[in-house]
């Protein structure tokens, strides 16, 4: 559970953001090209599968650096799951910036362009 919970928390956020972005792009296509053939049920399923696979891939890096720590042997009645990133946090900072861009900036730009175009 120590590795799974953070992965699923982040993946569901990514899936929500990417789903909203896909809906905005689909609405743009329907409005801008009304006579164009619409996406099929199979195509919609593939987009959904792609959204979830991409979400899991983007959310995976923190799981690689999450450790289960049992502090009870040292006299502290505490068990925690903590992220320990290499390179004194530089890699964590890079991942955090990437998350900001991938989960906020790019979807915001995509949705804004889709609704304003």
Q: What is the pLDDT of residues 81-116, one digit of tens each?
A: 888 888 777 888 999 999 999 999 999 999 999 999
| Cα distances (Å, whole numbers) of residue 103 to 18, 95, 98, 107, 110 | 8, 12, 8, 6, 11
pLDDT one-digit tens code per residue, 41-67? 999 999 999 999 999 999 999 888 888
Please list the residues that pair with 70 across neighbouring strands. Answer: 79
> 59: exposed, middle or buried (C-beta count within 10 Å: 0-12, 13-18, 19+)?
buried
Return the pLDDT at 80: 86
Q: Give the per-residue SS3 of 50-107.
A: HHHHHHHHHHCHHHHCEEEEECHHHCCCCEEEEECCCHHHHHHHHHHHHHHHHHHHHH
Return the pLDDT at 26: 93
Q: Confirm if 23 and 68 have CB atoms less than 8 A apart.
A: no
Report the predicted TM-score, pTM, of the whole model to 2 decimal places: 0.84
Return the pLDDT at 68: 84
Selection from 95, 103, 65, 104 nearest residue 83 by Cα: 65
CATH 1.20.1070.10 fits 4-116, yes or no: yes
Predicted confidence band at 1 (pLDDT cuts at 50, 70, 90)? confident
Is the pLDDT reported for residue 74 higher than 90?
A: no
Domain ranges of the chain: 4-116
């Amino acid at each position: 559970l120590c590795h799974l919970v953070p992965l699923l928390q982040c993946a569901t956020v990514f899936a929500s953001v990417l789903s909203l972005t896909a809906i905005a792009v689909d609405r743009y296509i329907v409005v801008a090209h009304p006579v164009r053939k619409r996406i099929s049920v199979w195509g919609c399923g593939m987009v959904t599968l792609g959204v979830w696979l991409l979400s899991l891939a983007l959310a995976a890096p923190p799981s690689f650096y999450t450790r289960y720590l049992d502090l009870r042997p040292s006299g502290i009645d505490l068990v925690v799951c903590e992220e320990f990133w290499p390179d004194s946090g530089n890699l964590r900072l890079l991942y955090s910036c990437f998350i900001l861009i991938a989960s906020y900036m790019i979807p915001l730009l995509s949705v804004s362009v889709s609704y304003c175009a």
